[in-house]
Amino acid sequence: MVKTALVVKGDKGKNLFRLLKQCDEIDLVGLACPDGEIDWLTDMERKNYYITADLDKITALPELETVIDGTEEPAVADYLRKNLRNGVQFEELAASSTLKAVLDTREQLLETRLVKGELLAILNSVQDAIEVVDAQGIVKYVNPAFTRVTGIPESKRVNRNIFDVSPQGALAQSLIQQKPVTGYRTYVGGSDADVISNASPIIVDGELMGAVVVFQPVGDILKLMDELQHSNAVIDNLYAQIDEISGSRFSFESLTGKSNILSATIERARKAARSESPVLISGESGTGKSLFAQAIHNNSPRRKKPLLVIDCAFVPDSLQEIEIFGCEKGAMPGIVRTRIGKIELAAGSTLFVKEINSLNPYLQKKLFDVIETGKFCRIGGEQPIAIEVRIVASASDNLLNASLQGYFSEDLYRRLSQVTVNLPPLRKRPEDIPLLAEALIERLNRKLGKKVREISPRALQELCDYDWPGNISELKSVIERAMVVAGGPVIEYHHLSPYIGRHSVQDAPAFDEIIPLDRMEEMMLKLAITRYGESLEGKKKAARALNISLATLYNKLKRYGD
């Protein structure tokens, strides 16, 4: 080996020093750094090599045969040429093609070694079993997962010929056919491991260099399939529960009545169901807006997925955005995991925004953007989420006037009102009252455990003559209260008179039997909601009339299922 000293400067010198350390042909005895920068040297390097900043000291080293200048500075090169003793050869890196070629080759080898080390680290960490052979079928590599799956140690597999140890496997077949072999089920040669394999030949510049196989135990794959089936079952069950909770069971055939005005309204709603546009259902409180929303969804192409509902009058302003759009983990106090909003849960389905006039103005704009762009962001989210959802909204108030007066977004109203379904009040279809009363009695008999068969002619006339400010909701409430106090199979006029006609709400009803206090509380709650309406303002008035807080009203309504 040639005893050599090296003169370097900067980062390039650092790389040159470490390359020359690896050369078998060179015995590196000293290093000169004229700039004095030696911080990059390790403690071991400083211990094993003579290090100096003085060129005179490096040239004076005994038995020195060659000095290589890696600084590429003319002044340094001139000084070394003049001061080297006889017999010491001077090599300038920039002028030595041989030295540069050696160093370039060494650098490529080091880079290849680095890449190989990284590749091995990756392959060794992969959980799937991997086996590699050369063009003759000699096994060159197996990863730790191979031993774990097969029970065959690396020492028993490497350097064996694949045609001897596993001639029927995917790896041998891929090597013979020189094409990929996928989804191949077999037992690994030399073990009882039942696996699914994917093998592929390794071809470089058109030449076959070998082949590689990746495989998993069949048991693991079957387990994954079972977990997938279980997850799908859970998802299907959740959809079923959402569907059950949403109560989306009504169709247009479920709607009771034969009046011309109702028939025309149903026909318009059927047309709305067939479109994909947003729908606005308007009408007085108690006219059946929720039933029409369910019927529209259940007669639309989205009926296979559940209808999601958000009642804006029921949800406080501070919680509306979380309920509708969701919230990222940690974006708000108490949100310890990402919360999915109802608009995201309704992907591919319908979101029924109930009492949309109670939606706060900021969210009106955000909902309009969803309809226009098909994208939204959760609270705290930065990346928009694409969503495909149909919006059906309802409102008891006149949204047109509200938008003109600045109480509701004009853009959102204009978008929703492209398809509208206006529900007629009960007073405009009195011919439907006998049919509605009959259907309600049948349903309430099951709920109350009664056996009411009919309404007397005078009582029925009273129902038809009444103005019904609370519409069908009020009709249901009145008939239910009458059935509670009725002792026989017929609802008479005096069972109804405390609730309709000339009697006021405050008049004390005359009961024929004792009623449990919780039933009386439920009746009073329904009566208050019927009188004042289901809007937020109506519920505030109902709470004041009942002398309870709005929060208590909401809790009691939830308790009794309203």
pLDDT in tens, 310-334: 999 888 888 999 999 999 988 888 8
pLDDT at 533 over 70: yes
Q: Are residues 260 and 379 both part of a single domain?
A: yes
Q: Are residues 322 and 446 both part of a single domain?
A: no
554 within a domain of the structure (yes/no): yes
Helix axis angle, 457-465 to 471-485, nearest 10°: 150
Residues 6+ apart with CB under 8 A from 323: 310, 315, 341, 342
228 within a domain of the structure (yes/no): no
Q: What would the mean pLDDT of 214-241 be, rounded to a whole number?
A: 64
Q: What would the mean pLDDT of 383-411 be, rounded to a whole number?
A: 90
pLDDT at 101: 53
Q: Are residues 335 and 479 both part of a single domain?
A: no
- For all residues of the chain together, what is the average pLDDT? 84
Assign 230 a pLDDT band (cuts: 50, 70, 90): low
Q: Are residues 266 and 395 both part of a single domain?
A: yes
533 within a domain of the structure (yes/no): yes
pLDDT at 554: 85
Q: Are residues 330 and 182 both part of a single domain?
A: no
Q: Are residues 202 and 276 both part of a single domain?
A: no
Sign of the torsion angle spanned by Cα atoms 293, 295, 300, 306: positive
Range of the domain at 528: 426-559
CB neighbours (10 Å) of residue 157? Answer: 21
Q: What would the mean pLDDT of 406-414 be, rounded to a whole number?
A: 92
SS3 505: coil
Give the number of C-alpha atoms closer than 13 A to the C-alpha of residue 68, restricted to the C-beta side. 26
Q: Are residues 436 and 542 both part of a single domain?
A: yes
Please report, as a single letter, which amino acid is at residue 165. Answer: V
Q: Are residues 451 and 475 both part of a single domain?
A: yes
Q: Residues 408-417: contacts with CB within 8 Å, 24+ apart? A: 408/357, 408/364, 409/361, 409/364, 409/365, 409/368, 411/365, 411/368, 412/364, 412/365, 412/367, 412/368, 412/371, 415/278, 415/368, 415/371, 415/372, 416/278, 416/279, 416/280, 416/356, 416/391, 417/280
- Range with the poorest average pLDDT among 289-293, 461-465, 545-549: 545-549
Q: Residues 384-388: contacts with CB within 8 Å, 24+ apart? A: 385/344, 387/343, 387/344, 387/347, 388/347, 388/348
Assign 24 a pLDDT band (cuts: 50, 70, 90): confident
Assign 508 a pLDDT band (cuts: 50, 70, 90): very low
Please indicate whether residue 70 or residue 230 has the higher confidence score (pLDDT).
70
Please report, as a single letter, which amino acid is at residue 406. Answer: G
CATH code, 39: 3.40.50.720
Q: Tokens in use for 269?
A: 């709603």
CATH code, 488: 1.10.8.60
240 within a domain of the structure (yes/no): no
Domain's final residue, options 367, 394, 422: 422
Q: Are residues 377 and 262 both part of a single domain?
A: yes
Residues of the chain with pLDDT > 90: what percent?
37
Q: What would the mean pLDDT of 511-539 be, rounded to a whole number?
A: 76
Assign 436 a pLDDT band (cuts: 50, 70, 90): very high
Q: Are residues 262 and 409 both part of a single domain?
A: yes
pLDDT at 21 over 50: yes
206 within a domain of the structure (yes/no): yes
Domain's final residue, options 422, 448, 470: 422
pTM (two decimals): 0.52
Q: Are residues 330 and 382 both part of a single domain?
A: yes
Assign 422 a pLDDT band (cuts: 50, 70, 90): very high
pLDDT at 98 over 50: no
CB neighbours (10 Å) of residue 42? Answer: 9
pLDDT at 232: 56
pLDDT at 326: 93
pLDDT at 240 over 70: no
Tokens 């077949």: give the residue: 173
Q: What would the mean pLDDT of 85-99 be, rounded to a whole number?
A: 72
Q: What would the mean pLDDT of 133-156 be, rounded to a whole number?
A: 91
pLDDT at 502: 45
408 within a domain of the structure (yes/no): yes
Q: Tokens in use for 139?
A: 């096994």
Q: Are residues 290 and 379 both part of a single domain?
A: yes
pLDDT at 93 over 90: no
Are the C-beta atoms of residues 152 and 225 closer than 8 Å to each other?
no
26-79, pLDDT tens digit by residue?
Answer: 888 899 998 888 888 888 888 888 999 898 898 888 888 888 888 888 888 888
pLDDT at 526: 81
CATH code, 132: 3.30.450.20
Please indicate whether residue 194 or residue 234 has the higher confidence score (pLDDT).
194
Assign 210 a pLDDT band (cuts: 50, 70, 90): very high
111 within a domain of the structure (yes/no): no
- Report the DSSP beta bridge partners of residue 134: 210
Number of domains in the chain: 4
pLDDT at 110 over 60: no
- The secondary element (H helix, E strand) that includes residue 309 is strand 307-311
Assign 104 a pLDDT band (cuts: 50, 70, 90): low
Distance CA(180)–CA(135), nearest Å, equals 15
Domain's final residue, options 407, 422, 437: 422
pLDDT at 209 over 80: yes
Q: What would the mean pLDDT of 4-26 be, rounded to a whole number?
A: 80
Q: What would the mean pLDDT of 355-374 be, rounded to a whole number?
A: 94
pLDDT at 12: 73
pLDDT at 314: 85
208 within a domain of the structure (yes/no): yes
- Report the DSSP beta bridge partners of residue 281: 394, 421
